[in-house]
């Protein structure tokens, strides 16, 4: 009798999945706003050029002796208004000529960098700290705290910046660098305060702030650990651009005779002296003016580059 028993068919072998590119999601490190901003800044020629100029200015301000051996305050009347740069090589005391007291214009341009940079950076730090604190408290607490601090800010905002600085400086007979710094900072913090207040009002409604508050985090921890890192971007942009404005304001006050006074070397004072002798010695006016313009332009370019990098709408 034939064997009718049938062998069960072997189970079909499962097909291997198609080979494809394996993407390791965990290997891709998410970049923060600052990381994205740095990637943009590295490819921005505005940032590269302005940063290089600012680094050079900081080196000149810190170590002016590397760039000239001449004294900016000691002169020789035999060089009265002498302007023959072709007689000297680049960097020599006679390169840019001499002023009415026989002092090297090149040396005064180099040493004048220190006063302008110190005033600009110091005023920016002071107004950022004070204005940022006022704006943060007003935006976070709201209510009567916001009303009082905003009213206080508006009072100072209504005062003309340069005119108010002139009035303050008139009260001092010895107008040193420190006096000019505090006079400019006394009236220059209002813009930072308004920017910080608006940023804090927006961020404090975020879910992570509400979660931190629900978990029992204190006010100081919420302000400085959760809110502050997320509102720094617009403040940094405004502070960077304002730095050039403060340098220009210092030069303007010195030009008017209400800012820095001798023996401090200042571009504003040299521009003022050159303006009165513009018919006979134009070089006294031209070179400090060029240096001042380059410095202010460098900080404004840096602020614009940072603003474009930190603004998500531009990406």
Condensed to tens digits (0 to 9), the pLDDT of residues 59-90 reads: 999 999 898 888 888 877 777 767 655 445 55
Condensed to tens digits (0 to 9), the pLDDT of residues 85-132 reads: 544 555 566 778 888 788 888 889 999 999 999 999 999 999 999 999
Quote the radius of gyration of the chain (alpha carbons, Å): 30
Axis crossing angle, helix 228-255 with helix 177-188, rounded to the nearest 10: 130
Q: What is the pLDDT of residue 1?
A: 44
Q: What is the pLDDT of residue 32?
A: 66
Q: What is the pLDDT of residue 73?
A: 82
Q: What is the pLDDT of residue 5?
A: 47
What residues of the chain score a pLDDT lower than 50?
Answer: 1-8, 10-29, 86-87
Q: What is the pLDDT of residue 248?
A: 92
Distance set, CA 257 to CA 247, 271, 281 (Å)? 16, 11, 20
Condensed to tens digits (0 to 9), the pLDDT of residues 247-264 reads: 999 999 999 888 888 888
Q: What is the DSSP letter of 65?
A: G
Q: What is the pLDDT of residue 88?
A: 52
Q: What is the pLDDT of residue 74?
A: 83
- pTM of the predicted structure, to 2 decimals: 0.82
CB 99 within 8 A of CB 281: yes
Axis crossing angle, helix 177-188 with helix 190-203, rounded to the nearest 10: 50
Comparing CA positions, the residue from 139, 184, 137, 185 lying closest to residue 162 is: 184
Please enumerate in sequence order all residues whose Cβ is within 8 A of that of 286, keeping only pairs 6 or more positions apart, or say none.
Answer: 274
Can you read off the two tokens belonging to residue 284? 């006294």
Q: Which CATH number fits domain 34-64+113-269+296-314: 3.30.2010.30, 2.40.40.20, 2.120.10.70, 1.10.3720.10?
A: 1.10.3720.10
Q: What is the pLDDT of residue 6?
A: 47
Return the domain boundaries, the chain.
34-64+113-269+296-314
Task: For Cα atoms 254, 257, 261, give the angle at the middle one, nearest 5 degrees.
Answer: 70
Would the CA dihedral through 207, 213, 219, 222 be positive or negative? negative
Upstream peptide bond of 173 is cis (omega within 30 degrees of 0): no
């Amino acid at each position: 009798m034939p064997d009718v028993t049938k062998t069960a068919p072997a189970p079909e072998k499962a097909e291997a999945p198609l080979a494809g590119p394996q993407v390791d999601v965990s290997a891709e490190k998410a970049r923060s706003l600052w990381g994205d901003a740095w990637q943009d800044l590295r490819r921005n020629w505005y940032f590269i050029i302005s940063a290089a100029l600012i680094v050079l200015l900081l080196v000149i301000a810190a170590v002016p002796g590397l760039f000239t051996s001449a004294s900016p305050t000691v002169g020789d009347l035999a060089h009265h208004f002498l302007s023959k740069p072709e007689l000297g090589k680049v960097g020599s005391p006679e390169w840019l000529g001499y002023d009415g007291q026989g002092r090297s214009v090149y040396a005064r341009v180099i040493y004048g960098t220190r006063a302008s940079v110190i005033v600009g950076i110091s005023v920016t730090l002071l107004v950022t700290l004070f204005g940022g604190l006022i704006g943060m408290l007003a935006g976070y607490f709201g209510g009567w705290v916001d009303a009082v601090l905003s009213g206080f800010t508006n009072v100072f905002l209504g005062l003309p910046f340069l005119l108010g600085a002139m009035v303050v400086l008139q009260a001092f007979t010895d107008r040193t660098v420190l006096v000019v710094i505090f006079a400019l900072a006394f009236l220059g913090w209002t813009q930072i305060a308004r920017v910080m207040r608006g940023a804090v009002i927006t961020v404090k409604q975020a879910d992570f702030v509400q979660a931190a508050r629900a978990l029992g985090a204190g006010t100081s921890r919420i302000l400085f650990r959760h809110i502050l890192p997320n509102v720094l971007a617009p403040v940094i942009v405004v502070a960077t651009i304002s730095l050039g404005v403060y340098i220009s304001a210092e030069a303007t006050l010195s030009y008017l005779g209400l800012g820095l006074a001798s023996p401090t070397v200042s571009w504003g004072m040299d521009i003022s002296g050159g303006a009165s002798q513009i018919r006979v010695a134009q070089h006294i006016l031209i070179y400090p003016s060029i240096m001042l313009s380059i410095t202010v332009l460098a900080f404004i370019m840096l602020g614009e580059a940072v603003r474009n990098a930190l603004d998500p709408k531009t990406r």
